[in-house]
Amino acid sequence: MTLAQRTKKIAAPGTSRMRTIANELKAQGLHIVNFAAGELDGDTSDAVKQGARQAIDAGKNIYTPTMGAPELRKQLGALVSQHTGVAYAHDEVGLTAGAKQALYNAAMVLLDPDDEVIIPNPYWVTFPTQVELAQGRPVFIETRDAGYQLMASQVEQAITPKTKALIINTPNNPSGAVYQAAQLAKIAALALQHDFWIIFDECYAALVRGGHQHAHILAIEPRLKERIVLVNSFSKSHALTGWRLGYVAAPAPVMKAMENLQGHTTSNPSSVAQYAISYALAREDGQFIARVNRTLDERLRRALAIVAEMPSVQVAQPQGAFYLFLDISAHLGKQLDGTVIADVDQFCEAALREARIAMVSGAAFGDPSSVRISYAISTDDVVEGLQRLRQLLQRLQ
Ligand SMILES: Cc1ncc(COP(=O)(O)O)c(C=O)c1O
């Protein structure tokens, strides 16, 4: 069977693979600590659920305009304006089936063949694939040596006449880094000077660890408005991964091009999800996300105490999202009961087999020295799973 050449550029997301194996083992009755999930463990808010019930009963079960219901676009325009200090009208904001679709739309409407897109490494798995599907070329810059911070000097070195865009994801998946305002200011200046787009993925903006603040590049440099595509989502902020609702804010011509594209791919995202979020946003008092952050802060505190006891494991203190990115490279090449653990993929498989913990290999994020652990699972599981990991590491020779 001959499939399109395009399919060679698309591998199953590494994050999904470990999730699938973990679920299979769970189905066999084994207690797997699942560090591989990319979502909150708690349920969404009552307001969202109430909004959904009302939407269904009110017959909001049919198509909305492609880029979303006008009242929600207006609400989100106001929200983005409030967060950035830069005015966004309703036709500069659109709803998508998760941030994933917003990012895909951006790649498809901005990139021509061979356009270069700078992507900080480690990166969320989907960024390079989407760029390649749009026939662009990912250009990676390494952030590990800077504690996973994105440094303007590195961005500058990667710029060529073909640079079309830079993808910034802060708070970052997988490292948990929250990018510094001072660096973002310099990067904004580079974008204006060299005339490239910033695709700003802030899906985890609401999820910051105690004491840290999400710095918004557009709030820092409002002139960037004509050069930025903002991407956000309700998946992580409202524990709504299954509903597939995200949004994008961009200059009106970009939004129009996205509307044309989306009109031929999926049309509008779920109408019920849109009305439910609209209802919830109108009633939000910040309590839900504050509770989530408090819980995550405590889990992180417990987690870091155990990680500190792990032999030869490096970790940068996470400032946002809900991931720990553990550098276990000192253990690669060692043996577990006589079998060599040659690389991080083998390490993850051994951890699943021997310690019943599912993690995501850093190779999926372009960094084969590390593993990603989500601490958005029960506190008991965080503690139990990390203790099992520590014991596993102690067995390696
Ligand atoms: C950095 C980043 N961007 C985008 C997404 C996609 O989120 P959504 O569920 O809204 O499509 C994810 C999901 O894990 C993510 O980690």
User: Which tens digit of pLDDT belongs to each residue from 297-313?
Assistant: 999 999 999 999 999 99
**What local confidence, expressed as pLDDT, does residue 11 receive?**
83
- Does residue 153 sit in the same domain as residue 232? yes
The sign one gets for the Cα dihedral 129, 134, 137, 140 is negative
**What local confidence, expressed as pLDDT, does residue 268 receive?**
98
Tokens of 338: 């006589």
> 118-151: buried (b, 16+ CB within 10 Å) or exposed (e) per residue?
bbbbbbbbbbbbbbbbbebebbbbebbebebbbb
Whose alpha carbon is nearest atom 13 of ligand 1? 38
Cα 114 to ligand 1 centroid, rounded to whole Å: 25
- 100 pocket-lining for ligand 1 (C-beta < 6 Å): yes
Euclidean distance between CA atoms 194 and 287, whole angstroms: 42
Euclidean distance between CA atoms 384 and 35, whole angstroms: 11
**What local confidence, expressed as pLDDT, does residue 25 receive?**
83
Q: How many domains does the chain have?
A: 2
Euclidean distance between CA atoms 141 and 150, whole angstroms: 9
Mutation test residue for ligand 1: of 19, 44, 124, 270, the one with most atoms within 8 Å of CB: 124
- 96 pocket-lining for ligand 1 (C-beta < 6 Å): no
Mutation test residue for ligand 1: of 129, 178, 203, 247, the one with most atoms within 8 Å of CB: 203
Cα 175 to ligand 1 centroid, rounded to whole Å: 14
- Does residue 16 sit in the same domain as residue 111? no
For range 69-94, the mean pLDDT: 98
The sign one gets for the Cα dihedral 280, 284, 290, 291 is negative
- For residue 326, report the phi and psi dihedrals to the nearest 5 degrees: -95, 125
- 99 pocket-lining for ligand 1 (C-beta < 6 Å): yes
- Does residue 86 sit in the same domain as residue 210? yes
**What local confidence, expressed as pLDDT, does residue 211 receive?**
83
Mean pLDDT of the chain: 96
**What local confidence, expressed as pLDDT, does residue 12 receive?**
78
- 201 pocket-lining for ligand 1 (C-beta < 6 Å): yes
- 38 pocket-lining for ligand 1 (C-beta < 6 Å): yes
Within a domain: residue 362?
A: yes
Nearest alpha carbon to residue 376 among 327, 334, 321, 338: 321
Within a domain: residue 175?
A: yes
CA 288 to chain centroid: 20
**What local confidence, expressed as pLDDT, does residue 50 receive?**
98
Cα 366 to ligand 1 centroid, rounded to whole Å: 17
Cα 153 to ligand 1 centroid, rounded to whole Å: 27
**Which domain covers residue 344, as residue numbers?**
5-43+287-395
Euclidean distance between CA atoms 89 and 75, whole angstroms: 10
User: Is 345 a residue whose pLDDT tops 80?
Assistant: yes
Within a domain: residue 358?
A: yes
**What local confidence, expressed as pLDDT, does residue 15 receive?**
59
Helix (H, G, I), strand (E, B) or coil at 278: helix
pLDDT in tens, 347-392: 999 999 899 999 999 999 999 999 999 999 999 999 999 999 999 9
- Does residue 214 sit in the same domain as residue 148? yes
Which among 262, 283, 304 is the end of a domain?
283
- 173 pocket-lining for ligand 1 (C-beta < 6 Å): yes
DSSP state of 326: E
Whose alpha carbon is nearest atom 14 of ligand 1? 38
pLDDT in tens, 210-245: 889 999 999 999 999 999 999 999 999 999 999 999
Within a domain: residue 54?
A: no
User: Is 322 a residue whose pLDDT tops 80?
Assistant: yes
- 15 pocket-lining for ligand 1 (C-beta < 6 Å): no
Percent residues over pLDDT 90 in the chain: 93
DSSP labels, 177-239 = ----HHHHHHHHHHHHHHT-EEEEE-TTTT-B-TT--PPPHHHH-GGGGGGEEEEEESTTTTT
> 181-195: buried (b, 16+ CB within 10 Å) or exposed (e) per residue?
eebbebbbbbbeeee
- Does residue 181 sit in the same domain as residue 143? yes
| Out of 4-8, 96-100, 134-138, least confident range | 4-8
- Does residue 220 sit in the same domain as residue 235? yes
Say which CATH number the domain at 146 has: 3.40.640.10
Q: Are 60 and 272 in contact (CB under 8 A)?
A: yes
pLDDT tier for residue 69 given thresholds of 50, 70 and 90: very high
For range 88-113, the mean pLDDT: 98
The pairing of strands 197-201 and 228-233 is parallel
- Does residue 161 sit in the same domain as residue 266? yes
- 203 pocket-lining for ligand 1 (C-beta < 6 Å): yes
**What local confidence, expressed as pLDDT, does residue 371 receive?**
97
Percent residues over pLDDT 70 in the chain: 98
> 160-171: buried (b, 16+ CB within 10 Å) or exposed (e) per residue?
eeebbbbbbbbb
Distances in Å between the alpha carbon of 64 and those of 80, 234, 262? 21, 18, 13
The pairing of strands 93-96 and 246-249 is antiparallel
- Does residue 82 sit in the same domain as residue 147? yes
Euclidean distance between CA atoms 157 and 377, whole angstroms: 39
Within a domain: residue 50?
A: no
Whose alpha carbon is nearest atom 16 of ligand 1? 173
Which among 283, 307, 327 is the end of a domain?
283
Mutation test residue for ligand 1: of 39, 167, 172, 235, the one with most atoms within 8 Å of CB: 235
Within a domain: residue 48?
A: no
Mutation test residue for ligand 1: of 173, 175, 325, the one with most atoms within 8 Å of CB: 173
Within a domain: residue 58?
A: no
pLDDT in tens, 119-172: 999 999 999 999 999 999 999 999 999 999 999 999 999 999 999 999 999 999
- Does residue 251 sit in the same domain as residue 377? no
- Does residue 201 sit in the same domain as residue 333? no
Within a domain: residue 371?
A: yes
- 233 pocket-lining for ligand 1 (C-beta < 6 Å): yes
Prior bond of 171 cis (ω within 30°): yes
Residue type, 310: M
Give every CB contact of residue 74 below 8 A, 6+ residues apart in sequence. 90
End-to-end CA distance of the chain: 46
**What local confidence, expressed as pLDDT, does residue 170 receive?**
98
- 241 pocket-lining for ligand 1 (C-beta < 6 Å): yes
**What local confidence, expressed as pLDDT, does residue 302 receive?**
98
Q: Which atom of ligand 1 is nearest to the CA of 241?
A: 9
- Does residue 79 sit in the same domain as residue 20? no
The pairing of strands 137-142 and 116-121 is parallel
Mutation test residue for ligand 1: of 44, 231, 233, 237, the one with most atoms within 8 Å of CB: 233
Which among 241, 256, 283 is the end of a domain?
283
pLDDT in tens, 178-211: 999 999 999 999 999 999 999 999 999 999 998 8
Whose alpha carbon is nearest atom 7 of ligand 1? 99
Whose tokens are 């700078």? That residue is 118
Distances in Å between the alpha carbon of 394 and those of 334, 340, 356? 11, 15, 16
Tokens of 223: 């002139």
pLDDT tier for residue 21 given thresholds of 50, 70 and 90: confident
- Does residue 273 sit in the same domain as residue 313? no
Say which CATH number the domain at 369 has: 3.90.1150.10
For range 26-42, the mean pLDDT: 92
User: Is 13 a residue whose pLDDT tops 80?
Assistant: no
Cα 100 to ligand 1 centroid, rounded to whole Å: 6
**What local confidence, expressed as pLDDT, does residue 243 receive?**
97
**What local confidence, expressed as pLDDT, does residue 356 receive?**
93
Distances in Å between the alpha carbon of 336 and those of 35, 373, 395? 21, 21, 7
